[in-house]
Copies of this chain bind each other. A is one copy, B any other.
Amino acid sequence: MTSNAVPECLIDGQPANQVRVTDRGLSYGDGLFETLRVSQGSIALIDYHLARLQRGIQALRLQADIELIAEEWRDLAARMGAGVIKLTLTRGSGQRGYAIPADVRTVRIQQCFPPANYPEAHAREGIRLFSCATRLAHQPLLAGIKHLNRLEQVLARSEWNDPQYAEGLVCDIQGLVVECTMSNLFARQDGIWLTPSLAQCGVSGVMREYLMNEMRAHGEQVEEVELQHSALLNASELFCCNSLFGVWPIIALDRHQWPVGPHSRYAQALAEQVIK
């Protein structure tokens, strides 16, 4: 490996691709992850990723050197040029039992992947949403953060295989709309962008946060709300977003159809300013 070659995976800074079976990330999902888009040698929305990671570290009371993580991200991004970095940060190794050992040491896994290859038509023409039956539980202690307990997302995503659906809509245990399996949701109604509150469940996506900030900075009204399914169906425009693909307009859900509207195109343009 030359010094500029991109490693497949670094664990605590060293090339490696395995973790100990005693890692609490494996035993309990005791950790966090972040998935970063790298283009032109830099990371899109890095400050947003770092802020969410910091919130997760506090919620799980992990000990982690966030400066070191940021430095490693920037170094890997420069070497990769374009691609995806996935950080997995686990509590570290322990013996049996939920109690956190006094001498536990966080494990930092950085995986490098080629760029995500979603069909370009998703962004250009919009996507159809599958309606998932899996419901998200309410857990305010974990809501918003990107932790490793993701069985709900696995179950929701396993409900469909038909490639005509690029994403799936997921509601919470009360039937309120929350997000899609790997992205967040915006619905436009009466000239206002609505996005589901993530106080009880769901992942607070960095692209969602960036778009909320940018839209507001450009004079748009954006509200975090308890979004009823009926309000979703009455929306004039819908889109989903994440930091890898940017914005995908939503053109169909169940028997409802939407055109790709000008406000979704505007959101898309805002996303493209950072994901290039």
Contacts and interface: CB of A to CB of B under 8 A. Distances in A.
Interface of A: 9, 11, 16-30, 33, 35, 60-61, 84, 86, 88, 90-91, 95-100, 109, 111, 113, 116, 134-135, 137-139, 141-142, 147-158, 173, 181-182, 201
Copies held by the complex: 2
A233 to B, nearest CB: 25
A201 B97 CA distance: 19
Contacts of A98: 150, 153-154, 156-158, 181-182
Given A28-B148, A60-B155, A137-B139, 14 more contacts: A9-B21, A11-B21, A18-B18, A28-B29, A28-B149, A28-B150, A29-B150, A60-B151, A84-B96, A86-B96, A97-B157, A141-B155, A142-B151, A149-B150
Contacts of A148: 26-29, 151
Best-surrounded residue of A26, A86, A90, A100 (most CB of chain B within 10 A)? A26
20 contacts: A9-B21, A17-B22, A19-B26, A23-B26, A26-B26, A27-B33, A28-B148, A29-B148, A30-B150, A61-B158, A95-B113, A96-B116, A97-B182, A98-B153, A98-B156, A100-B154, A135-B139, A147-B151, A148-B151, A149-B149
A20 B147 CA distance: 19
Q: Most chain-B Cβ atoms within 10 A of its Cβ — which of A11, A86, A96, A134?
A: A96
A29 B152 CA distance: 10
Given A139-B137, A150-B149, A158 B95 contact: no
A143 B11 CA distance: 34
Contacts of A155: 60, 141
A196 to B, nearest CB: 17
A28 B151 CA distance: 6
A158 B96 contact: no
A15 B100 CA distance: 27
B138 A21 contact: no
A151 B27 CA distance: 10
With most chain B CB atoms within 10 A of its CB, the pick from A97, A98, A113, A151 is A151
A134 B141 contact: yes
Given A26-B23, A60-B151, A113 B96 contact: yes
A27 B34 CA distance: 11
A211 to B, nearest CB: 22
Contact of A138 (B18, B23, B138): B138
B149 A26 contact: no
A110 to B, nearest CB: 10
Nearest to A157: B98
A27 B173 CA distance: 24
